[in-house]
Amino acid sequence: MAVRFRLPRTSFAFLLQAAACAVVAWSVWNGGLTRAPAPLSAEPPAAAVTPDSAAFNPFKDPAADTPFTLTSPAPGDTAGSAASGTASGAPGGPAAGAAGAAVRLAGAPGFDGAQLALSSIDVIVSRNDTLDGIFRRLKLNLADLASLRALPGLKARLDSLRPGESLHFTHKDGELIGLQRRLNDAETLDVTRAGDGLKATVVANPLETRTRTVGGRIYSSLFEAVEDSGANDQTAVALADIFGWDIDFVLDVRPGDSFVVTYQEIWRDGRYLKDGPVLAAAFVNQGREYRAVRYTDPSGVTSYYTPDGRSMRKAFLRAPLEFSRVSSGFNSARMHPILNRIRAHKGVDYAAPIGTPVRAAGDGVIRFAGVMGGYGNLIEIEHTHSITTVYGHLSRFAHGMRPGTRVTQGTVIAYVGMTGLATGPHLHYEYRVNGVFKNPQTVVLPAAAPIAATYSADFHARTDPLLASLDLAVGPMLVSR
C-alpha cells in the first residue's frame, strides 16, 4: 500500500518573514550591518551634532586630533519663561531640562553629554523682581552673584532692574557661565566665566539716526494725526511740549489745524527702535503759524527757538496738565455747582482722572502745601515778578513737596483729585499777578531770554537747513531725508 506524505500548510507571509530573518542573520555574521548608537541627548542627532567633515565620528578615540568646540544656544534659539523658570529646547527638539536648552556640539571626540550640558534661559523681569530673587528661582549659585556685585562699578548696573526687560542666563548645574543684559539702547552688559572667576564687559551697540520729515492735518486729535503721518506718540508729546507755551493743547487745538515736523529716528542693526528728538517743527493753529527749531549752543545748552532766535520757552506753561479738557473756564459770574449760588470762578478747571500728574507752571518756591477750605488739598507757588500760581482739589502731593521747596517748571508737584468742594475729579488752577486773578488761558506770559548775540551766526548756520525742511505742502505726507 502506498504511503502519502502531506506537507503542513504554510502561509505566504510566514515564508517572507523567514527569508528576511535569514538575510539579516547572514549580514550580521559577515559584518555588513551594525547596530546604531543611542542618541546623546533629547535633540535629534542632525540638530545636536555638526560634523567638521563628512568623515566626522563623535565616537572616535579621544586621542584623535579632531578638534571640537562647545557652544550654548544663541539668543533666539530658545524661549524662556519668567513665570515657570523653564525654557524650551532648540527648534526641532523638546525641552532639555527644567530650565535649559540642549547643548550644541561641533566635532566632539569622546563627548560626555552629562559633563558638558549647559542650560540657557531668558527671564522677563517682573515688578519687584531682584537679581537675588531670580538667582534663587533659577537655583543658581548665589556665590556667583556675590562675585558679580564685587566687580568694580557693576553693582548698580545689576540691581537697577526694569520691569519688562529681558535677562539672558547660561549656566551649568547652577554655576553661572554667562549673563547678558541690555543696559540701554546703545550698551549691553556681557558677563562671562573666565577660568575660576567671572568678568564683565560693556559692549557698545552702534545706533543709527535717520532724519525724517512728516506732516498732517488734525481731524480729531494730535495723537491720531501724528500717527497717521507715520510718526509715533513720542513725537506728538514733543510737539505739545515745544509749542505748549503758545498753544493750550487742551483748549486751543481745532480740527483743520496742521503740522510739519522734522525729527530723528533711532535704529539699531537695521531695526527701528524709537523716535528721536524733534529738530524743527511748524504748527498752524486757528490760522496762525508757529515755528520752532532745535539748537545746541557752543556751551552745550540745547533748547528750542523761533527762526529769529527767540526762545520758545516762556516763564510759565500755558496749562499745568498734559492733554486734558477744560470743564469750567475763568468766569466772574458762574453758578457754583455745590453752593448753588452765583460765585466768581477765578481760575480754570481741568477735568482729568484721579492721579493725573500736575506740573509746576513755572520756576518758584512752594509757599503753602496743605488743606485750605473748599480748595481741599492745595499747593501755592510763588514766582518772580509777583506772580503766584495755585493748584487745588489735589488727591495727594508729590514726594518732598512742602513749604520752602524750590521747584522748576514742569516738575510734578501733585496729582489730580476731588478734595474740597468738587463734584468730580479735576484740577483747579489759578494765576495771580500782585494778588489780582488773571485768566490763565489768555494772560500774556513772560518770555525767556533769547539766544546770545555772540551765537547768532552759528545759530543760523545750523538751523536754517532744518527750517527749510519744513517748507512742504501741509497735508498727509511722508518724506524720508
Q: Is the pLDDT of residue 224 over 80?
A: yes
Choose one of 169, 204, 239: the last residue of a domain: 204
Whole-angstrom Cα distance, residue 36 to residue 57?
13
The pTM of the full predicted model, rounded to 2 decimals, is 0.55
Tell me, yes or no, whether 78 lies in a domain: yes
Q: 192-199 contacts: CB < 8 A, separation 24 or more?
A: 197/147, 198/144, 198/147, 198/148, 198/151, 199/151
The whole-number pLDDT of residue 149 equals 84
Is the domain of 90 the same as that of 128?
yes
C-alpha of 206 from chain center? 18
Tell me, yes or no, whether 1 lies in a domain: no
Q: What is the pLDDT of residues 310-362, one digit of tens each?
A: 999 888 888 888 754 434 333 443 444 444 443 445 788 888 889 999 999 99
Is the domain of 66 the same as that of 195?
yes
β 436-438/357-359 pair status: unpaired
Q: What is the pLDDT of residues 243-257, one digit of tens each?
A: 988 887 877 888 999
Please, what is the Cα angle at 459 between 457 and 463, to 5 degrees? 125
Tell me, yes or no, whether 37 lies in a domain: no
Tell me, yes or no, whether 258 lies in a domain: yes
Is the domain of 145 the same as that of 174?
yes
CATH number at residue 429: 2.70.70.10
Is the domain of 229 the same as that of 199?
no
Whole-angstrom Cα distance, residue 306 to residue 242?
11
Tell me, yes or no, whether 12 lies in a domain: no
Is the domain of 234 the same as that of 157?
no
7 sits in the region (left: phi over 0; alpha: psi -120 to 50; else beta) called: beta
The whole-number pLDDT of residue 31 equals 54
Residue 79 three-state SS: coil
Q: What is the pLDDT of residues 89-109, one digit of tens each?
A: 333 333 333 333 333 333 344
Q: Is the pLDDT of residue 460 over 90?
A: yes
Instruction: Judge contact between 8 and 17, C-beta under 8 A.
Output: no
Measured over the CA atoms of residue 407, residue 425, residue 353 and residue 221, the dihedral's sign is: negative
The whole-number pLDDT of residue 400 equals 94
Is the domain of 380 the same as that of 342?
yes
Tell me, yes or no, whether 348 lies in a domain: yes
- Residue scoring higher pLDDT (396 or 25): 396
Is the domain of 282 the same as that of 172?
no
Is the domain of 290 the same as that of 272?
yes
Is the domain of 192 the same as that of 253?
no
Q: Provide mean pLDDT across the span 426-444.
A: 89
SS3 content of the chain, % helix, strand, coil (to 5): 20, 35, 45
Choose one of 184, 204, 224: the last residue of a domain: 204
Instruction: Judge contact between 280 and 462, C-beta under 8 A.
Output: no
Q: At 184, phi and psi to the nearest 5?
A: -160, -170
Q: Is the pLDDT of residue 5 over 90?
A: no
Q: C-alpha cell of 321?
A: 496738565
DSSP string computed for 330-384: -EEEEEPTTT-SEEEE-SEEEE--TT-EEE-SSSEEEEEEEE-GGG-EEEEEE-S
Range of the domain at 104: 56-108+115-204
Query: Residue 320's closest CA among 362, 355, 278, 376?
Result: 362
CA distances (Å), origin 65, targets 206, 284, 297: 40, 75, 64
Tell me, yes or no, whether 154 lies in a domain: yes
The whole-number pLDDT of residue 441 equals 80
Tell me, yes or no, whether 212 lies in a domain: yes
Q: At 227, phi and psi to the nearest 5?
A: -65, -40
Choose one of 204, 233, 262: the last residue of a domain: 204
Instruction: Give strand ranges (E) for 31-186.
Output: 69-71, 80-81, 86-87, 104-106, 119-124, 166-172, 175-184
Of 2-16, 151-165, 461-475, the least confident: 2-16
Is the domain of 137 the same as that of 217?
no
The whole-number pLDDT of residue 23 equals 66
The whole-number pLDDT of residue 372 equals 94
Residue 310, C-beta contacts closer than 8 angstroms, at least 6 positions apart: 447, 450, 451
Is the domain of 63 the same as that of 197?
yes
Query: Residue 416's closest CA among 469, 354, 332?
Result: 354
The whole-number pLDDT of residue 258 equals 93
Q: What is the pLDDT of residues 23-75, one digit of tens each?
A: 666 665 655 544 444 444 444 443 333 334 333 333 333 343 333 222 333 33
The whole-number pLDDT of residue 105 equals 33
Instruction: Judge contact between 142 and 89, C-beta under 8 A.
Output: no
The whole-number pLDDT of residue 64 equals 39
The whole-number pLDDT of residue 414 equals 96
> How many domains are there within the chain?
3
Residue 100, C-beta contacts closer than 8 angstroms, at least 6 positions apart: 87, 117, 118, 119, 120, 121, 171
Q: What is the pLDDT of residues 121-141, one digit of tens each?
A: 888 988 888 888 899 998 988
Q: Is the pLDDT of residue 150 over 50?
A: yes
- Residue scoring higher pLDDT (204 or 75): 204
Q: Is the pLDDT of residue 154 over 80?
A: no
Residue with cell 572667576: 197
The whole-number pLDDT of residue 16 equals 67
Most confident of 77-86, 96-105, 197-206, 274-283: 274-283
Q: Is the pLDDT of residue 240 over 50?
A: yes
Name the average pLDDT for the chain. 75
CATH number at residue 262: 3.10.450.350
Is the domain of 188 the same as that of 263?
no
Query: Residue 140's closest CA among 124, 117, 119?
Result: 119
